[in-house]
Every structure is written in structure tokens, then in C-alpha cells.
């Protein structure tokens, strides 16, 4: 299963060079290693497609610059994490649990769609995806950004600068583009049932 690239930001040559150094190839596919893991059956198709191609890679431009540790076999086979998703996932038909302090649940509620952890970045930042293949970064500040809607644009922006990253304004529940930039043409998810942040921001 191969993760198709959408040519949005242009030339991915430098990104591919970084990926190849990390052990990636255009034919990489770890399906046979993860297809029996508990999370393989729970995660949406777009996320599984990403993991089958990039799962388990430690991707870095240089040792001193941003690094992405993509979750791999061990993560997907972790039954504790699988149990967490079974009981702690956002469900639009259920009441919002404002006592739940888990970041993944919190931002899933604000977006109105479940997000899934797919990688760890430096300085305690996390890479997430939603079921439609969008990528987000949650920083230690904390801020929550939309990065891109495909893996190669995501890698390119992480390693060479997210000039058009869009931040989620948690108090007003709206997406705010970078200075001088516009919002993406395709609307970003927001929970339309919410009139304000349930956590009383």
C-alpha cells in the first residue's frame, strides 16, 4: 500500500533525500508487520496508509534540527493504547467530558473529528492526523496548528519552514492564518455544535 503524494508545494527532492537517509523507499510497506496489531483495526484508512509507508522511521534533516519519530510496530501493538482509544475517543453523539484533560480528546472535541497521534517531534511537540488525512502539530507552548493535508507537504514544512501554518484559536473556536496568508481553500474542521469552548476558555 503506497501513500500517494499530492503535488501541492512543489519539488519534494530534498524531502525524499531526508526520507531515504532515514530508511524510506518508494516501495516501503510494513503492512505485514502491523496488520494483526490492535490499533490497525481501530485506526482510519488514511492513518494506516501513512503508517504502512513511514511507520517506525526516525526522520531528521540534521541531528541538530527538527526530528520526527513516526510511531511504528510497538505503538500499534500496545494494548494499553488500544484500550485508551476504545474508551476515550471523541463521539459526537455523546456528551462532552470536560473532566477529560487528554489533549487528543480535547482537540478532537474542538474540531468535531477524532485526531490520532502519529509521531513525536522535538521539544515535546506531537504530530497528529485526522481521518481525512490532515496533519496537525501540537506544541509545548501549547498551540495547535494545521500543517498540510498530505505527508510530503507536512515533512517539507516541518524541515524547511511552515510559512502558511494555520493556528487554532481556542477561545473563539476559529482557524487563524499566518500573517499575510489566507486560510486553505478547503475548509478546516471545526465542531459546529459548539458556541464556545466547553472547557470555559
- As given in the structure block, the three cell numbers for residue 100 are 477529560
What is the C-alpha separation between 94 and 198, in angstroms, rounded?
A: 14
Q: Is residue 143 part of a domain?
A: yes
Q: Is residue 173 part of a domain?
A: yes
- As given in the structure block, the three cell numbers for residue 60 are 531528521
What is the C-alpha separation between 97 and 88, in angstroms, rounded?
A: 10
pTM beyond 0.95 = no
Residue 6 CB contacts under 8 Å (≥ 6 apart), including other chains: 149, 150, 152, 153
Say what angle helices 13-22 and 151-160 make with each other, to 10 degrees: 90
Q: Is residue 185 part of a domain?
A: no
Element (H, E) at 126: strand 126-130
Number of domains in the chain: 1
Q: Tell me the pLDDT of the chain averaged across its residues.
A: 90
**109-138: buried (b, 16+ CB within 10 Å) or exposed (e) per residue?**
bbbebbbbbbbbbeeebbbbbbeebbbbbb
Q: Is residue 71 part of a domain?
A: yes
Q: Please check whether residue 165 is in contact with residue 146, taking contact to mean a CB–CB distance below 8 angstroms.
A: yes
What pLDDT sits at residue 34? Answer: 96
Q: Is residue 142 part of a domain?
A: yes
Q: Decide which of 115 and 61 is more confident.
A: 115
Q: Is residue 190 part of a domain?
A: no
pLDDT, one tens digit per residue, over 131-143 is 999 999 999 887 9
Q: Is residue 184 part of a domain?
A: no
3-class DSSP assignment, residue 162: coil
Tell me the residue range of the domain where 133 lies.
13-177
Q: Report the 10 Å Cβ neighbour count for 95.
A: 7
pLDDT, one tens digit per residue, over 23-77 is 999 999 999 999 999 999 899 999 999 999 999 999 998 766 789 999 999 999 9
3-class DSSP assignment, residue 15: helix
70-75 long-range contacts, CB within 8 A, separation 24+: 70/118, 70/119, 70/127, 71/117, 71/118, 71/119, 71/120, 72/30, 72/34, 73/30, 73/33, 73/34, 73/37, 75/39
Q: Is residue 79 part of a domain?
A: yes
Amino acid at each position: 500500500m503506497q501513500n500517494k503524494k499530492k503535488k501541492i508545494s512543489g519539488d519534494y527532492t530534498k524531502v525524499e533525500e531526508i526520507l531515504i537517509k532515514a530508511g524510506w523507499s518508494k516501495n516501503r510497506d510494513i503492512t505485514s508487520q502491523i496488520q494483526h496489531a490492535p490499533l490497525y483495526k481501530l485506526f482510519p484508512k488514511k492513518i494506516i496508509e501513512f503508517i504502512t509507508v513511514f511507520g517506525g522511521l526516525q526522520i531528521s534533516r540534521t541531528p541538530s534540527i527538527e526530528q520526527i519519530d513516526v510511531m511504528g510496530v510497538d505503538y500499534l501493538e500496545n494494548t494499553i493504547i488500544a484500550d485508551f482509544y476504545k474508551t476515550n475517543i471523541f463521539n459526537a453523539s455523546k456528551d462532552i467530558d470536560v473532566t477529560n484533560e487528554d489533549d487528543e480528546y480535547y482537540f478532537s472535541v474542538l474540531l468535531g473529528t477524532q485526531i490520532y497521534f502519529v509521531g513525536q517531534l522535538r521539544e515535546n511537540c506531537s504530530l497528529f492526523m485526522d481521518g481525512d488525512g490532515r496533519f496537525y502539530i501540537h506544541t509545548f507552548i501549547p498551540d495547535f496548528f494545521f500543517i498540510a493535508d498530505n505527508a510530503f507537504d507536512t515533512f517539507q514544512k516541518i524541515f524547511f519552514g511552515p510559512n502558511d501554518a494555520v493556528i487554532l484559536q481556542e477561545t473563539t473556536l476559529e482557524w487563524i492564518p499566518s500573517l499575510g496568508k489566507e486560510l486553505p481553500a478547503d475548509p478546516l474542521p471545526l465542531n459546529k455544535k459548539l458556541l464556545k469552548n466547553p472547557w470555559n476558555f
